[in-house]
Amino acid sequence: MPGTYLSHFLRSSFYIVKTKIKLFSQLYAEDPFLFSHFTLERINPSLIRYFIIAPLVIGIILPFIRRRFDFIITFTSLHTLFAVYLYVCTTAIGLKIPGTSIKWNYVNIFTGRPVEYKLSYGPFIFDSGWALSLDSVGLTFVLFSSQITQLCIMFLMASPLDRLIEKQIILILLCQFFLINCFLVVDLFYFFFAFEGVLIPLTILIGAFGSQPRRIHAAFQLFFFTYLASVVMFFTVMYIHSYVGTSYIPDLRGIEFPYKSLLFLGVAIPIMVKTPLVPVHIWLPEAHVEASTVGSVILAALVLKMGAFGIIRILIPLFYEQCVFYGPLITDICILGMFYASLIALRQTDLKKIIAYSSVVHMSLSTLGFSIWQ
């Protein structure tokens, strides 16, 4: 069995690499100066829209596709390739290919308005529309999430293929849809929609496909902690929209809200739960232990990063004074949490619990960096 498992895994890996090489070869044969066209001006906004909603659409229609596993390999390869293309178009990495005229676009979301595509895909509820920001920070997370999702699907396809594997792939694609939206939207309401929406497929992934007997309890604990905090964030977003008339984040910068400290806490507490920081980290070790391997990877590698990204996207731009004022308190919480989680991790014998508590440590360290940043 281990030999069969390894052969399936290697065959899937080889097929994905071969598909990427073939696609690059075809693109380069059609256009030898392909790498000279890495500019955002050449990207059709419709392609970005399709890139975002593609995981949702594919997840819905996947049960009705014949040879669905070959199709999902091709889709994840193309999706990751486009994520790489967007990342290269947007991020300044100091690369210069001889003989080409590459225009690198670097966008700093702290100092100025980023490159934005305001798509006419909405509004769903508010009049602000579905606004996207193609900035280097968000696309770094998008590229990371696309690559991790592809690896998770490849890992699942290395095991014997059946209906349970297909359902897990659908849930992973739904997670990817919410993750990409969270990392790209610059509208406060749609950020909340993606920030909390990812927990629905994640809860099912842990509760239905977990590997331990207490998986239902772990899924309920995850649901209870995160959605209790999301209620606070929902009313905060509603109040901000009713006061200003829009939830478009760049338009909210510099506005003095009444009860701004309470609004800051209404956004900071859900981010603190999602990160998570001590003492609201209780749900994480249980979820890690009870989840399957793929669920643990998505939880540790992607979902926890949404909390750190929420600090970058919302807290610092909209509540900078409150971040400075509460900075010492956040610093103390992070330092105490690092020592507390480290000492508990040293006592664990379960690998997943070690990963869970070490995740608390490294996310506390990341939050500590934000709290001391001026």
pLDDT tens for 229-247 read: 888 899 998 998 888 888 8
Q: Check whether the bond before 276 is cis (ω within 30° of 0).
A: yes
Higher pLDDT, 163 or 47: 47
- Residue that has been written with the tokens 């790498």 in this structure: 35
Instruction: Give the confidence band of 131 by pLDDT, cuts at 50, 70, 90.
Output: confident
Bridge partners (DSSP) listed for residue 116: 133
pLDDT tens, 329-372?
889 999 999 999 999 988 888 888 888 888 889 889 888 888 87
List pLDDT tens digits, range 4-32.
544 555 555 555 555 555 555 555 455 54
Q: How far apart are CA 129 and CA 125, in angstroms?
A: 9
Residue 66, phi then psi, degrees to nearest 5: -80, 150
Instruction: Give the tens place of pLDDT for each residue, 212-226.
Output: 778 888 888 888 888
| Look-up of token digits 């297909």 | 166
| Mean pLDDT over each residue of the chain, to the nearest integer | 76
pLDDT tens, 284-316?
Answer: 888 888 888 888 889 888 888 888 888 888 888
**Quick check: 275 and 363 in contact, CB under 8 A?**
yes
CA distance 318 to 311: 10
Cβ(224)–Cβ(204) below 8 Å: no
Highest mean pLDDT of the ranges 35-49, 108-122, 257-271: 257-271
| CA dist., res. 293 & res. 284, Å (int) | 14
Q: What is the DSSP letter of 245?
A: S
CA distance 139 to 143: 6
Six-digit token string for 333: 């919480």
Scored b (16 or more CB within 10 A) or e, 100-139 reads eeeebbebebeeeebebbbeeebeeebebbbbbbbbbbbb
Q: What is the percent of the chain where pLDDT is above 90?
A: 6
**Residue 302 carries which DSSP code?**
I
Structure tokens at 239: 């109040």
- Name the CA dihedral angle for 268, 269, 275, 277, rounded to a multiple of 10 degrees: 110
Question: Could you give phi then psi for residue 187, rounded to 5 degrees?
Answer: -115, 130
How do 116-119 and 130-133 pair as beta strands? antiparallel
Alpha-carbon distances, residue 368 vs 60, 150, 278, 289, 328 (angstroms): 40, 31, 13, 26, 10
H or E stretch at 117: strand 116-119
- pLDDT at residue 45, as a whole number: 66
Q: How confident is the model at residue 188 (pLDDT cuts 50, 70, 90)?
A: confident
Q: What is the Cα–Cα distance from 148 to 137, expressed in whole angstroms? A: 17
Question: Is residue 153 within 8 Å of 72, Cβ to Cβ?
Answer: yes
Instruction: Dump pLDDT digits (tens) for 61-119.
Output: 888 877 777 788 888 888 888 888 777 766 544 333 333 333 333 333 333 344 444 44
| Closest CA relative to residue 146, chosen from 47, 64, 57, 54 | 54
pLDDT tens column, 348-357: 888 888 888 8
Calpha distance 23→44 (Å, rounded): 20
Half-sphere exposure of 357 (CA within 13 A, CB side): 17
Q: Which residue has the tokens 């406060």?
A: 188
Q: What pLDDT is attached to residue 13?
A: 55
Kindly state the average pLDDT of the residues 167-196. Answer: 89
- Per-residue pLDDT band for 161 (boundaries 50, 70, 90) equals low
Partnered with residue 133 across adjacent β-strands are 116
Tell me how far apart the terminal alpha carbons of the chain are, to the nearest angstrom. 55
170 pLDDT more than 80: yes
